[in-house]
Amino acid sequence: MPTLRELASTIRSKNAGVDHITFDIIFRERANFERVRNAKVLTRESVAALYRMDPERITDFVVFEPANAIKFTIRRDRPSGGPGEHDVFGSQQYAPLMGIEIP
Amino acid sequence: MADSFRIICPTGHLGFTPLEKASFLAGCAEKPDAVIADSGSCDIGPYPLGADGQASPPAWQYHDVEIMLLEARRLGVPMIIGSASDTGTDRGVNQFVEIVREVAKKHKLAPFKLAALYSEQSIDSLRAYLAKGGRIEGLDGRPDATLATLDATSRAVAVMDAEPIRKALLAGAEVVIVGRCSDCAIFAAPLLNRGFGPAISYYAGKLMECASFCCEPYMGKESIMGSITADAVEVTAMHPGQRCTPASLASHAMYERRNPFHEHVASGLVDMTNCRYEQVGPKTTRATGPAFVPAGKTKVKLEGAGKVGERRLAIVGVRDPETIGRIDRAIAWAKDRLNERFGPIGGEYQVYYHLYGRDGVMGPLEPTPPAQPHELGIVVETVCKDGKRAEEICALAARNLFYARLPDVKGTAGAAALMGDEILVGKAGYEWTLNHVMAVDDPESLVRTRFETIDGTN
């Protein structure tokens, strides 16, 4: 089975305001986008399980057709950039998504 | 031909790294109607706002303002800069006004009218607002602000929408230096003045605010041109190697935001649910279809940051596989010693061990922390109101990894490698205390506008 890394052209994470991190998975080929969208392996539940977090922390989960994209947003466990911060831009939190297998 | 208004945007964060001049000049050769760029971001963390500092080097801010101002004055069109000097505090606005004065003098620019828009809010004014029964409503699941929230806040700014910028332009300002504002507001202001509706005006700003990030391939700090008509925004890449495509523009519309459909401003929200993107030229994409939903009551966003304490850092490495396998135990032992000596962690001070090589990047979100990495790089971070004490705590927190007592340890001359026996002085620790909105009858009561004529020939 191919992984998300092989099918998506962009997989990224970034702050969305100071209390959230948003994840974008974007496909160059429409067929790959539809394959992932239809496979239903990338869902609110699967993402919560992957990151071992309460599904309630996922505040938004949308399929964004105009950009061939799937997007979700999580609430940070504390605001960005305070003491103890390890990713102030939220820019390296996407890595575990790359290995998701797509039937 | 439909009435159109053209805006050139050379950078998505003025001064953060220097803008690229060639694509900007190429765009200005096409005689745009306005030169606009945003200079602010919350991504840099709470320190610059809280400490009223800046994240961008002054030399690069000067570089960008100089290039933009010279072209705007040559063309005789407005230049608008938003969220001056990273944070949009009064200091940031004054700093950018001073840069404009210096550039005008250096190049002997003919007189022009400048507007400076301030939106910093004193903590006392916010306290007074609460005392009068006002509500400072938490965003993103935060509780409403109380006096304690304000006590913990060092500095706060209100986020303007387009209205005060519109008024400054209508009053004849040719250069507008704006304090903290929505990125899209600086683009929307001249479009609203031209008679376009709020939907297309704010949407144009949303699409254009990050300059070449909405084009492909990926390049920062290159210029883009937006050509706005009553119902469409056409964005063109100005760099010869870049194109604006439906995919690049649509994917930018969802960048750095919780969802791709809604953009909130004080006066309402832009609904992008039905937007369409089509390629209309080799380097140009047209976007159509936004709607604007007016807010029942104007709610102005507040951003605030407060100081937590002084910060110290130490770097420690571990290579012994037996220590690595039991690193949590070693850290627990070190923390016990801190508790004994300095009182409970989380009371008067905070301590964090960042374990690079295991889960230093992702922390608790790391799905697969290796049990046995080859080596560990540990950054020890301490925060305490008193700097000397933060240093003492950091030294003990780091050295106690060196002295960690683990059963049957073979390396009895030190359980960790110290990169150097020094404690690094970090920037002070700040936190975001306000991510809130306040309902106001007159949002412009939060904004102060000052006009000035700048004459570089004098």
Interface contact B139-A22, CB threshold 8 A: no
Q: What is the CATH number of the domain that holds A24?
A: 3.30.70.260
Instruction: Domain ranges for chain B, please list them.
Output: 5-119+160-298+440-454, 307-432
Question: Which of A86, A87, A88 should one mutate to test binding to chain B, selecting the residue with the greatest count of B CBs within 10 A?
Answer: A86
Question: Is the model's pLDDT at B428 over the cut of 90?
Answer: yes
Instruction: Give the nearest partner residue to A52 out of B247, B254, B367, using CB atoms.
Output: B367
The predicted pLDDT at position B2 comes to 55
Question: Smallest CA–CA separation between A90 and chain B, in Å?
Answer: 9
Res. B35 pLDDT band, cuts 50 70 90: very high
Question: Which of B149, B248, B249, B431 should one mutate to test binding to chain A, selecting the residue with the greatest count of A CBs within 10 A?
Answer: B431
Answer yes or no: is A68 within a domain: yes
How large a percentage of chain B has pLDDT more than 90? 88
Chain A residues with CB-CB distance to B311 below 8 A: 83
- Cβ proximity of B237 and B252 under 8 Å: no
Interface contact B259-A60, CB threshold 8 A: yes
Our count of domains for chain A comes to: 1
Answer yes or no: is A85 within a domain: no
Instruction: Give the nearest partner residue to B46 out of A71, A75, A82, using CB atoms.
Output: A82
CA distances from A72 to A27, A56, B206 (A): 15, 12, 19
Interface contact A17-B276, CB threshold 8 A: no
Question: How, if at all, do strands B5-9 and B224-228 pair?
Answer: antiparallel
The predicted pLDDT at position B1 comes to 40
The predicted pLDDT at position A84 comes to 97
Give the span between the Cα atoms of B146 and B309, in whole angstroms. Answer: 21
Interface contact A68-B246, CB threshold 8 A: no
Res. B414 pLDDT band, cuts 50 70 90: confident
Question: Smallest CA–CA separation between B353 and chain A, in Å?
Answer: 8
What is the chain B residue with the closest CA to A13? B256
Q: What tens digit of pLDDT does each residue of B384-411 get?
A: 999 999 999 999 999 999 998 888 888 8
The mean of the pLDDT values for chain A is 95
Interface contact B258-A92, CB threshold 8 A: no
Answer yes or no: is A46 within a domain: yes
In terms of average pLDDT, the best of B246-255, B290-299, B301-310, B419-428 is B301-310
Answer yes or no: is A14 within a domain: yes
- Cβ proximity of B248 and B285 under 8 Å: yes
Instruction: Give the nearest partner residue to B254 out of A51, A64, A89, using CB atoms.
Output: A64
What is the chain A residue with the closest CA to B368? A96
Q: What tens digit of pLDDT does each residue of B47-100 get?
A: 999 999 999 999 999 999 999 999 999 999 999 999 999 999 999 999 999 999
What is the chain A residue with the closest CA to B380? A84
Q: How far apart are the first and last CA of chain B?
A: 43
The mean of the pLDDT values for chain B is 95
Question: Is the model's pLDDT at A17 over the cut of 80?
Answer: yes
Q: What number of CA atoms fall less than 13 Å from residue A17's CA on the CB side?
A: 26
Interface contact B42-A80, CB threshold 8 A: yes
Question: Smallest CA–CA separation between B152 and chain A, in Å?
Answer: 13
Answer yes or no: is A84 within a domain: no
Give the span between the Cα atoms of B409 and B430, in whole angstroms. Answer: 39
pTM across the whole model: 0.94
- Phi and psi at A61, nearest 5°, equal -150, 110
CB pairs under 8 A between A and B: 139
Which residue range(s) make up the domain with A18?
4-78
Q: What would the DSSP string read from start to end of B162-196? A: SHHHHHHHHTT-SEEEESSB-TTHHHHHHHHHTT-
Count other C-beta atoms under 10 Å from residue B141's C-beta: 12
Chain A residues with CB-CB distance to B141 below 8 A: 19, 59, 75
Angle at B2 between CA B191 and CA B6, to 5 degrees: 40
Give the span between the Cα atoms of B178 and B82, in whole angstroms. Answer: 5
Q: What tens digit of pLDDT does each residue of A29-51 get?
A: 999 999 999 999 999 999 999 99
Provide the ipTM. Answer: 0.95
What is the chain A residue with the closest CA to B259? A60
Fold type of domain B307-432: Alpha-Beta Plaits (3.30.70)
Q: Which residues of A touch B (CB under 8 A)?
A: 10, 14-20, 22, 24, 26, 28, 50-53, 59-60, 62, 64, 66-69, 71, 73, 75, 77-89, 92-93, 95-96
Q: What is the mean pLDDT of residues B256-273?
A: 90
